[in-house]
Amino acid sequence: MKSKKEIVVMLAKANEKKKEWYDIWNSREMGTSQNAECLRNYTALRGVVKTLKWVLDEVHTPLE
């Protein structure tokens, strides 16, 4: 099992990566496949962040 410190570090990294994908998507015109990749990665990282917050007991459930 991961320690709380390791989870907090993972959460910070996931938030950074989520912001990077959002900024890429928001910063320029792109083709459909590039747009889909950015949004897919951003959405996946939203789930990662919510799950890590749930593990840290910061949210009631990651399903909402």
| pTM (2 d.p.) | 0.87
Q: Please check whether residue 63 lies inside any domain of the structure.
A: no
Q: Please check whether residue 60 lies inside any domain of the structure.
A: no
Higher pLDDT, 29 or 54: 54
pLDDT above 90 covers a percentage of the chain that reads 81
Q: Please check whether residue 9 lies inside any domain of the structure.
A: no
Mean pLDDT of the chain: 93
The residue segments making up the domain with residue 50 are 15-55
Q: Please check whether residue 62 lies inside any domain of the structure.
A: no
Contact status, residue 47 vs residue 62, Cβ threshold 8 Å: yes
- Grouping H, G, I as helix, E, B as strand and the rest as coil, residue 21 is helix
CA distances from 8 to 27, 39, 52, 55, 64 (A): 28, 24, 8, 10, 21
pLDDT digits (tens, 9 = 90+) for 20-45: 999 999 887 888 899 999 999 999 99
Q: How many domains does the chain have?
A: 1
